Amino acid sequence: MRASAGARIRSAALRHNLAEIRRHAPGHLLMAVVKADAYGHGLVESARALDGADAFAVARVEEAMALRAAGLMQRVVLLEGVFGSDDLSLAARERFDIVVHSEEQIAALADASLPRQVDVWLKLDTGMHRLGIEPAELPAAAAALGQSAAVGRLRLMTHFAQAEARDDPMTVAQIGLLAASAEAFDGAVTLANSAAVLAWRRELESLAQRPREHGEHWIRPGIALYGISPFPDRTGPELGLRPVMDFHTVLIAVKTVRAGERIGYGGRFLAETDMRVGVAAAGYGDGYPWSMPDGTPVLVRGRRAPLAGRVSMDMITIDLSAVPEARTGDEVLLWGEGLPAEEIAAAAGTIPYELVCRVSRRVPRTRG
């Protein structure tokens, strides 16, 4: 065993979560969101484990190219679309679907001459006010794209701003706007991220009741595939999901610190009694946030032990009072099975999405 941090990735858990999410959205097709290196889980290997998905979705052209380079030939959707004619040609050549969300992108497609037609997801801004055109602009945009020789299939898309808020009227309003727009539109639609799939099933199903010949309905889960909850008040396992990543490391020293002494940079932690302290090989250089407060749990020999002292670049210090038999060489779990990333993210004042995305490049991902 190497005395450094690693991330164990469970392919079986990825497949379990994919099946579980499908169960929540019968009749829908599924694009697996694998942007940002599959939320830190490793793009290509995660996509291979998720090859039962109907398509992959990524944020950047480079991510889509990495999938093709690995021999993954499924449909790939570029969620931010493309900028510039080179990437547009590339998308056509590699058969990437592109999202179109702006006047500039519509104009570029109208003028483009491409090696083959590109399939387009026209994005509507139904209230998030990040990307997308206004619903009122849909007829003109659809007409312009419909006339372009560069455009193959035209489909409709929107994105939710707060689907994780189960009793907020915003999501219903967004679904309503999309539904009204879809009425006069022949083509597939996609709207649901993880939170919407898990919390707004009835509303999505009633939208999906529109006649089949108008096109398929697609869901777009990301975080739930990795076994992590999109909701602030529930964990993945509480939703029937299995955590995919174990972020782990090793105790590289165990020592006694005397009462009255301080531990680590800035002397943040004061030992009130004599105590056993473990030093584990993981720090903010590995993606374990510097902002972690004293008391944040790790697991040693299956038991919780609290962080004691500031996180260093390559190390953390742990109060081992609750695990007196702990020894140098023991594994330390930073988050994963038995220690939800959701809980650790909350301790650090962030969201679990950011935690897993931030696991740094020097951390080897192993698959099991």
Ligand X SMILES: *Cc1c(COP(=O)(O)O)cnc(C)c1O
Return residues touching ligand X (CB under 6 A): 33, 35, 79, 159, 193-195, 220-224, 230
* Residue type present at position 101: H
CA distance 115 to 74: 19
* Residue type present at position 220: R
Nearer to ligand X by Cβ, of 19 and 253: the residue is: 19
DSSP label at residue 167? T
Angle at CA 145, nearest 5°, toward 139 and 150? Answer: 170
Nearer to ligand X by Cβ, of 161 and 252: the residue is: 161
Residue 21: what are its φ and ψ, rounded to 5°?
A: -65, -40
- Least Å distance, CB 152 to ligand X, is 21
- Report yes or no: 108 and 88 within 8 Å, Cβ to Cβ: yes
**What residues form DSSP beta bridges with 335?**
247
- Distance from chain centroid for Cα 354: 9
Nearer to ligand X by Cβ, of 225 and 282: the residue is: 225
Query: Quick one: residue 13, left, alpha or beta (phi over 0 = left, psi -120 to 50 = alpha)?
Result: alpha
Which residue is at the shortest CB distance from ligand X? 222
- Least Å distance, CB 17 to ligand X, is 11
Q: Three-state SS for 180?
A: helix
CA distance 329 to 68: 40
CA distance 336 to 7: 9
- Least Å distance, CB 77 to ligand X, is 9
Residue 55: what are its φ and ψ, rounded to 5°?
A: -165, 165
- Report yes or no: 204 and 210 within 8 Å, Cβ to Cβ: no
- Least Å distance, CB 194 to ligand X, is 3
Nearer to ligand X by Cβ, of 159 and 248: the residue is: 159
Distance of CA 265 to CAs 292, 309, 337, Å? Answer: 13, 7, 30
- Within 25-169, residue ranges assigned H as helices are 35-40, 43-49, 61-69, 85-94, 103-111, 138-147
Instruction: Tell the residue number behind the tokens 């990333």, with chain if given.
Output: 341
Nearer to ligand X by Cβ, of 298 and 351: the residue is: 351
Nearer to ligand X by Cβ, of 241 and 320: the residue is: 241
Query: Quick one: residue 308, left, alpha or beta (phi over 0 = left, psi -120 to 50 = alpha)?
Result: beta
Nearer to ligand X by Cβ, of 130 and 258: the residue is: 130
Positions marked active-site: 35, 265
